[in-house]
Structure 1
């Protein structure tokens, strides 16, 4: 078949899929499951009702799901507030408790009593109490036409704040309102935020990060990516600041854990807080991502990661200091590479163009009102993307390259102090701002190495100078680019910068801040790092952001209209809003896939694969001696399946960042795994979903239980859990947990109903 014909068929297939409710695609609002999804979910194997998944006045699955910190998900797995999430989600907390002497990153950590559970200042666990469509309230008094997008957004934000505050007045709950469908709808979320979340257990990195960056975003996968925390509450079981007197939280529902495992075709449900998707992006938005943003960010992070990797390998101290930073940088670096591969494989720009052609025909073929509303929409979008293209690139180079240098990022954080001094604010206000900066400096320098950062600067500043459109570079950097044309010359300049700046050490920074507290602005203003940061940020704010923001505002306005038009054009389609860190349900089925011609991936991996990958010369594939011993002795306890232990499985659920740590639940409402990744071939699903290639990767609960019980000897934690079912090869002695059917009938008290 000619390539042109194949592409046309692919586009037709994908557009047909866009027009229908596609199997397994979607991140659905739990509030709307009854009307949109319940029948389809039950057809695929769900035995629960929508009410048992999401309910306000009785316990439901949602009451066992939390937003963990600001960017992950966790699930409650015991009546004592035990929380399961990913190892990489708890990585920052594990690192914060680690030192060269107590290296919990390398060796793992297990609290053998409640007294050993470690507090984590600033870490929160957020439950969703209820959600509500408040579109009418938010859009009250907001003109639909004849208003600038910035003015509209201001009115909307004011209304969102008013609606949110009114909803929780007089209660201990919190709230927020989020736009859906690019601002065509708005939903209120009432939350309960717990502030005392303690580290309970984490496997060594040789289990929790097994495979490292090599296996990240990849399948087959053998990573034991989990960690355990516990939520603590005050005497009334409500949120309270950390106190030794706090008690383990009593949840309205915790997830029973299934030992029965999974098979191809089994129903799976992912419940969590997906971060950001752009499923309704136009061809120009996709092309900007594919051709402009992703390549620039990949190049910058690739350079930074190489520097960090070398220094982390050479020093245990630097390895611990930069572990969380490196993991965060590497995660999206590899994701963007995979995303571009997937977009190219799907010919995404061409597919979007064909979708837009269909939309344009629909717009021009309608009545006068439809033509007026939609016929000129796409040409305007194209124009604004063209206007903003260079400014998008300049923005990416500032955020990734210039501020990717920690010295400049830190200097930038101190620039507001200069503004306060210039404005001659009262001494009390300046003193408060300096004290806040001093506290922040202590945290910054705890995980900072000036020699390492100097190497990063020598690698990144040339990329910033060369990659940014010349007209959008500060004059200072234009001069530097002319003066320094070789890596050695840039390294010399950077050495002088770091040699003269007082902000490369905590002692120097605190001394500068002490002078600023006395009103001596020159101590900060004359620092060379501050001068460079100020030059970059001034140009960024004056020359880049105004045009970038204007183009972005115009695109946002037109995109909102475009999405509204798509919903009118395709009335038979079930639309879901893009992910925006709000609670969502995705569902699919366990399935392998074919990544390329002649290749076929099975749906699960086992402990056998860990031993096959084992390589004592490669830190990413080291296997702990205890794990190898358990494998040799076939000492798998009740977690065995076919003579080994299942490690991970894949399914067709639609997930993204933020779904890390999400519970993966079977059709009976039982926990079967913890979501931790996607396959590399499917990372383009943030923009375009492909049912044949997109797979979410889940840690099998049996491997988690095996590590906790047999490897760590922390069987007391397993005894807290409610285990249901059994494998074919074992009973369940380690878990004297009661085998129970799902119970989600616990009703709220009268007071709780009123307060909610």
Structure 2
């Protein structure tokens, strides 16, 4: 059992002040700095490796088995032939693109039984980090203190590009520079980007999405959230565009897979690319998230998802078209709800206020500190007050107005229209027209106009009614006065879709041809384009300038505030907020107590899947094949105590982007694949709570069971390096099923 026993007095005190030392398992640490900051603590918790075994530029290390999968997930290399494991929801878009009503891989799953059957995915990449380096001095060279934020950012970008170019000159590598601690430090990341990544295997949705939205961001969890890809390279093992002549990539390191299992207290390391956190926000920043931004976005997405869900249930074609979009929108819709609940439970705004009181006392005790930080917090408060309505307006533009796909699509014509108006060269116009033509085809592949028409009726009403009146286009103010009921707004949407020429692919392509030849009148008089243009113009001219001014001021002030926190809290180990760069989070296997009288164990099993099974609920359908294996207890070598482990929880600090991250034990072996957080802990992007924050991981034994026993794809398991509880290879000792 895992819980913290606290006296009433200690609990009260902990709610008033943030700690001066980071919580035990809080943190998303830069691998480059593990030796000096974390190695001793990690080893104390059970790590058997050294920091150099995790991150090294001189030899193969754990970092060489971790990739950024696409633009927003993580994956891990699990064989010496480039086999890549990630989440089912990370590969969902690729699975969907290969699916049709006739070949419904989303529902039925897909397994390549030969290399020739592995499916290419244009545009999908796998990115390795070759090395990272502190380049703060180079990036900030020549930038005078007090430089305006916009000008400072230009100089930072220019210096960063020079650093990146110098680091990769004469190589096939790529590089970028990313700021840390709000721009107080800068780090260079040199990367190797592979462009030929092929789909190898994916379980059916009844496994990969078991539990659906009901179980998303929840524990206990029983989802087999994984998919398998393979990286291909040129004959020289270097990145190459897709070619039939490419060969499986040979990695510097791949993760052995442990069949030994887990127990409470076991060391866990999550290695991946967490997307975005804001741990050092002030009270006004937290309140903006909690009271303004999250509620607006949840309100809009609730209406959107209801309509999409109804139409997806009524049509297999719409279900496949909208599957990936729905999953993406629903994911953060539920996350934001949990985040608001968690921030409220922690009394996060008040805790931040209390920290600011103590910070102010520290500042007041020294004249030098007063000159640097004395006006900092009042200025932050004033800028947050200034941007509040503009944050709300931006949320309703992006979520509601441009939640209508037709309007978002209409804006894609704007660059071509501008080129024609400015009399650009025929070559440039043709290039832009070809780009737009491809975009039109891609858009309509996953678009259903009747569904979007219903969405327009619901979301345009929300946009008009909830946006501060001063920040609405005059056109929309008129519509708001004319349409005062949901029925009236739907009638307006019906008329809009009846009159526009942008709701069908054929007409949209004809419109493109007209604009490309200089005839812009059809587009500029189209009602959908007129509405989209009015909204976009108001965003650009009325909303964005004031918002950006306040946001730039906050960025500059926040940078100073973080520097002050680091100067004040000298005993605290600070980690930079997540920004989609490679990080290490470490912790231990543990259950948790979400509420009084409730305790969650640290693992789930196949038995729980059968307990949740409901043939009348698509989210909890169980495949007949899985039911057969369960009834026969045909679990192969993956069983424990008469069942198969499915998922487990640990105390690692994770966020979006950690989806697909390897969960690694103290010996550097794969024990799980991270795929979620508990709902009670989703506020950890802003404030970590050791009692409630848990990452959720797929147990590797369930992955192996599904691949081997369920799918009969034992040839994939044979590629992997399976090890026992002492790290000894099990080659030849595990019977693998093959069709």
Question: Using the alignment, how far apart are the partners of 1:371 and 1:282 within structure 2?
Answer: 18
Q: What is the aligned partner in structure 2 of residue 227 from structure 1? A: 227
**What is the SS of the residue equivalent to 1:80?**
coil
Q: Aligned to 2:598, what secondary structure does the other structure show? A: coil
Q: Report the equivalent of 2:696.
A: 697
Q: Aligned with 1:594: secondary structure?
A: strand
Map 1:162-561 to 2 at 5 A. Answer: 162-366=162-366, 368-561=367-560
1:532-580 C-alpha deviation (Å, 9 max, x unpaired): 0010011110000000000000000000000000000011110000000
Q: Is the 8 A contact 2:17 2:355 kept in 1?
A: no
Is 1:597 aligned to 2:605, yes or no? no
Matched position secondary structure for 2:369: helix
Q: Distance in 1 between matches of 2:139 and 2:79?
A: 38
Is the 8 Å Cα contact of residues 721 and 731 (structure 2) preserved in structure 1? no
3-state SS of 2:84 partner: strand
Give per-residue Cα distances to partners, 1:454-513, cap 9 Å, x unaligned: 011111000000110000000000000000001111111111110111110110100000
SS at match of 2:596: coil
Paired residue secondary structure (2:675): strand
Determine the structure 2 residue equivalent to 1:74.
75
Shift in Å, 1:671 = 0.1
What TM-score results when the alignment is normalised by the length of structure 2?
0.97
CA distance in 2, matches of 1:79, 1:387: 55
Q: Counterparts of 1:273 and 1:397 in 2: how far apart (Å)?
A: 29
Measured at CA, do residues 372 and 180 of structure 1 come closer, stay the same or move farther in structure 2, by a change above 3 Å?
same
Task: Specify the alignment match of 2:143 in structure 1.
Answer: 142
* Distance apart, 1:426 and its partner CA: 1.4
Distance 2:10 2:597 in 1: 22
> Would you say the 8 A contact 1:11–1:354 is kept in 2?
no
Q: 1:734 to 1:513 in 2, by over 3 A?
A: farther
Provide the residue aligned with 1:25 in structure 2: 26
Q: Within 5 Å, give how 1:566-645 maps onto structure 2.
A: 566-645=565-644
- Kindly state the Cα deviation for residue 432 of structure 1 after the two structures are TM-superposed: 1.2
Deviation at 1:227, TM superposition (A): 0.1
Mapped to 1, the partners of 2:326 and 2:121 lie a distance apart of: 21
Deviation beyond 6 Å, 4+ runs, structure 1:
5-8, 731-734
State the alpha-carbon separation in 2 of the partners of residues 172 and 12 from structure 1.
54
Please report how far the alpha carbon of residue 220 of structure 1 lies from its aligned counterpart in structure 2 after TM superposition: 0.1
Q: Deviations over 1:331-358 (max 9, x none)?
A: 0000000000000000000000001111
Displacement of 1:18 after TM fit? 3.0
Tell which deviates more after alignment, 516-525 or 286-295. Answer: 516-525
Aligned ranges 1:95-174 → 2 under 5 Å: 95-145=96-146, 147-174=147-174
| Rounded Cα–Cα distance in structure 2 between residues aligned with 1:429 and 1:496 | 36
Partner secondary structure for residue 165 of structure 1 = helix
Give me the whole-angstrom Cα distance separating, in 2, the residues matched to 1:556 and 1:10.
33
Structure 1 position 523, deviation (Å): 2.1
Q: SS at the partner of 1:19?
A: coil
The CA distance in 2 between the partners of 1:21 and 1:548, in whole Å, is 33
The 1:11–1:582 alpha-carbon spacing in structure 2 relative to 1, beyond 3 Å, is farther
Unpaired segments of 5 or more residues in structure 2? 1-5
Question: Do residues 717 (structure 1) and 716 (structure 2) align?
Answer: yes
Q: Partners of 1:280 and 1:620 in 2: how far apart?
A: 38
8 A Cα contact 2:90 2:659, kept in partner: yes
Report the secondary structure of 2:403's partner residue.
coil
| C-alpha separation in 1, matches of 2:249 and 2:176 | 23
- Inter-CA distance 20–427: structure 2 relative to 1 (3 Å threshold): same
Deviation (angstroms), 1:324: 0.2
Q: Secondary structure at the match of 2:400?
A: helix
State which drifts further: 389-398 or 11-20: 11-20
Instruction: Name 1:646's counterpart in structure 2.
Output: 645
- In the alignment of these two chains, the number of paired residues is 730
Report the alpha carbon displacement of residue 733 of structure 1 after superposing the two structures with TM: 6.2
Assess if the C-alpha contact under 8 Å between 2:18 and 2:352 holds in 1. Answer: no
- Could you report, residue by residue, the CA deviation over 1:278-315 in whole angstroms, capped at 9, with x for unpaired residues? 00000000000000001000000000000000000000
Structure 1 contact 73–85 (Cα < 8 Å) conserved: yes
Q: Distance in 1 between matches of 2:8 and 2:162?
A: 50
Deviation at 1:15, TM superposition (A): 6.6
The CA distance in 2 between the partners of 1:688 and 1:6, in whole Å, is 22
Instruction: Return the offset for 1:420.
Output: 1.2
Q: Partners in 2 of 1:67 and 1:285 — Cα distance? A: 29
Aligned counterpart, 1:563: 562
What CA RMSD, in Å, does the superposition of the two structures yield over aligned residues? 1.6
Query: C-alpha offsets along residues 697-726 of structure 1, whole Å, 9 cap, x if unaligned?
Result: 000000000000000000000000000006
Residue deviations 1:643-671, cap 9 Å, x none?
A: 10000000000000000000000000000
Shift of 1:21: 3.0
Contact 1:721–1:735 (CA under 8 A) maintained in structure 2? no
CA distance in 1, matches of 2:448, 2:713: 36
**Contact 1:194 1:240 survives alignment (8 Å):** yes
String of CA shifts for 1:371-408, please: whole Å, max 9, x gaps: 01011100100000000000000000001001110000
- Per-residue CA shift, 1:407-465, capped at 9, x if unaligned? 00000111122211221111221111111100110000000000000011111000000
Report the 3-state secondary structure (helix = DSSP H, G, I; strand = E; otherwise coil) of the residue aligned with 1:225: coil
Once residues 524 and 432 of structure 2 are traced to their aligned partners in structure 1, the CA distance between those partners, rounded to angstroms, is 16
User: Would the aligned equivalents of 1:718 and 1:735 in 2 still touch at CA under 8 Å?
Assistant: no
Mark the runs of 5 or more structure 1 residues left unpaired by the alignment: 738-756
Determine the C-alpha separation between the residues in 1 that align with 2:227 and 2:11: 41
Per the alignment, residue 58 of structure 1 pairs with: 59
Q: State whether structure 2 residue 676 is matched by structure 1 residue 674.
A: no
Q: Matched residues in 2 for 1:10 and 1:139: separation?
A: 43
Deviation at 1:686, TM superposition (A): 0.1
